[in-house]
Chain A
């Protein structure tokens, strides 16, 4: 049998050899420009906007070539870092996993680099500073920001005899009921508003800002049960769903098109109002330029909160063990602080520019729909969700509870929320290392 073994060993070695040669050949040539791999979440039309900006950078920097890979999410970034395959620069659509990136050191701390480059934290708006650091480490920078508001279909509003966008939750409910039309068999024909947690951009963190509810106390313990905003939101959610009928809603929703396609339910008039991010302005411009719609801040439960909304944003950072840290930092610095780059990205993607300077840049092309979101971004009551060591699992657990509640699977709301609180605390502890401090 020794011959078989020899052949086997040879085959394996050959395979390894070929692969290894391929791997080293790619990095051997020193005179060629440094290749910087950049991972971003954008895809399709949005990706080409981003690539246009990196191409400009490419042109101005002959020593590097920027290689952009789109369609990336947090799961992929986390996996690549663990496996030692991370790109030189990584960008995520949201900040949920900042606690993981900073906490584990998966993304390097940028504090010293910011200092030596002379970039004070006041360069960026306060909210974005919060969601780009964790545990005393600044491991990410904001690359455009997102906030959320109400999109409403003006034609459908006119038909239903509604003058303007709702400003309070009570108005939202009343308008939604007016706008909802049923088929003769009782199924939904047009939906005024889809309240389902899990539908498109509907997540708990975006909703509770309308009730002004908080997440954590001063010692970072979860206080969902103690904040009346949480249970009030959920009770409203339930009563509105009950008015339509849970099963009818599920069925209707199953027939709606993908969020990020031209069949988006709001864009084709299947829902009259929708809770969505500022980027939708650009999607509508590209996919349904004739849609007669308006944008407004999200209706609120407490009138003084009107005009505020949930803020989050795309972040960018440098995964550890990268081979081109200096070049990577230069690119990150350019993308996150260069007013021209941010303005161009903002114009193409219709995302909120993420430095104080670029927010008022003259390069920004004005757009009435988009201006709403710039105002929400500047509102003092606008807020974001907590950054914890558990990363996205934290908000996922809350969302999980909310979907159970909306399906009628939670019998006692207040004890359910209290249990969720202790689960969330245990989860953070477990993620930080099995209860050992």
Chain B
């Protein structure tokens, strides 16, 4: 949209022919470079798709084009590996995790941004630190904690709960992002609500949530994407429990699990990419807005 505005500005001015020609050539060069890169960016998808349609022997040869096209690969994939199971596990993690992040992070971010209380600045600093530290720093004691904690004889290791539950207690990145957004909400809106006798919780539930919708959608999308793609934590807790594998673990073990070949591996790879791409096209605007938000507000 801004690009269109830019074009308009350029069009309004009359420029000497030489300058216009130079600008035109520059624009052509500009586009040529962009299109070149765009092809390079699309090529991996294309190669993956082509391999996914080859026979096993062909995938082990330098051939580029499938001959014959083996569409059956996409059927075989489902019988070779429990893709449905992995998909359901992934959704369990993604949906419950994302829900937790949203429900728990919004109030914390609001408190950090809008409520006056002692230690607010210190807490914000803590969020920043938590955001910056690699998860590997605390991963050993966390694992020990889950391994030793057996309520009702239930063992958390080997399930997805150790990766889902922490999301219900606030996520540093989302808190940070939301706080930055909440800071931009004019105080007058909130004061007006306060004058009307709303409790802080009501204000949060109505005014703030409505005004901050783009930011909340953004953190929900990011959380979903993050949990959907997550590999390290699920591997840690469910590595030896194949019934609880998520797609990313299943895919990483796919090739060796049943002596599966490259053509089927690439078919599975493609299938795993599909859901995120679909979500992207459904929510493209929210995505781009959200990504932009992270940078500009940061």
Q: Do chains A and B touch in the complex (CB under 8 A)?
A: yes
Interface of A is mostly: helix
Tell yes or no: B258 within 8 A of A by CB.
Answer: yes
Tell yes or no: B9 within 8 A of A by CB.
Answer: no
What are 26 inter-chain pairs, A to B, with CB distance below 8 A? A1-B200, A4-B107, A8-B168, A12-B165, A12-B168, A15-B96, A19-B161, A20-B154, A23-B154, A24-B153, A43-B258, A44-B258, A71-B257, A71-B258, A72-B240, A75-B239, A79-B240, A84-B155, A85-B155, A85-B158, A257-B60, A257-B261, A258-B255, A261-B261, A263-B60, A263-B261
Which residue from A4, A44, A82, A260 sits with its C-beta under 8 Å from B103? A4
Tell yes or no: A77 within 8 A of B by CB.
Answer: yes
Tell me, rounded to whole Å, the shortest Cβ–Cβ distance linking B151 to chain A: 6
Interface residues of B in 176-211 (CB under 8 A from A): 200-201
Given contacts A8-B104, A260-B259, contact A24 B152 (CB under 8 A): yes
Interface residues of A in 1-36 (CB under 8 A from B): 1, 3-4, 7-8, 11-12, 15-16, 19-20, 23-24
Tell yes or no: A62 within 8 A of B by CB.
Answer: no
Instruction: A298 to B150: give the CA distance in the assembly, Å.
Output: 52
Tell me, rounded to whole Å, the shortest Cβ–Cβ distance linking A309 to chain B: 25
State the A residues within 8 Å of B (CB): 1, 3-4, 7-8, 11-12, 15-16, 19-20, 23-24, 43-44, 69, 71-72, 75-77, 79-80, 82-85, 255-258, 260-263
Instruction: A24 to B57: give the CA distance in the assembly, Å.
Output: 48
B261 touches A258 (CB 8 A): yes
List of A residues within 8 angstroms of B158 by Cβ: 80, 83, 85
Given contacts A69-B242, A263-B57, contact A16 B154 (CB under 8 A): yes
A19 touches B57 (CB 8 A): no
List of B residues within 8 angstroms of A76 by Cβ: 239-240
Tell yes or no: B157 within 8 A of A by CB.
Answer: yes
Which residue from A11, A15, A85, A258 sits with its C-beta under 8 Å from B259? A258
Which residue from B159, B168, B259 sits with its C-beta under 8 Å from A261? B259
Instruction: A77 to B256: give the CA distance in the assembly, Å.
Output: 18
List of B residues within 8 angstroms of A23 by Cβ: 152-155
List of A residues within 8 angstroms of B239 by Cβ: 75-76, 79
List of A residues within 8 angstroms of B200 by Cβ: 1
List of A residues within 8 angstroms of B157 by Cβ: 83-85
Instruction: A258 to B60: give the CA distance in the assembly, Å.
Output: 10
Q: Chain B: which residue is nearest A81 at the CB level?
A: B240
List of A residues within 8 angstroms of B159 by Cβ: 19
B157-176 vs A, CB cutoff 8 Å, 1 = contact: the mask equals 11101001100100000000
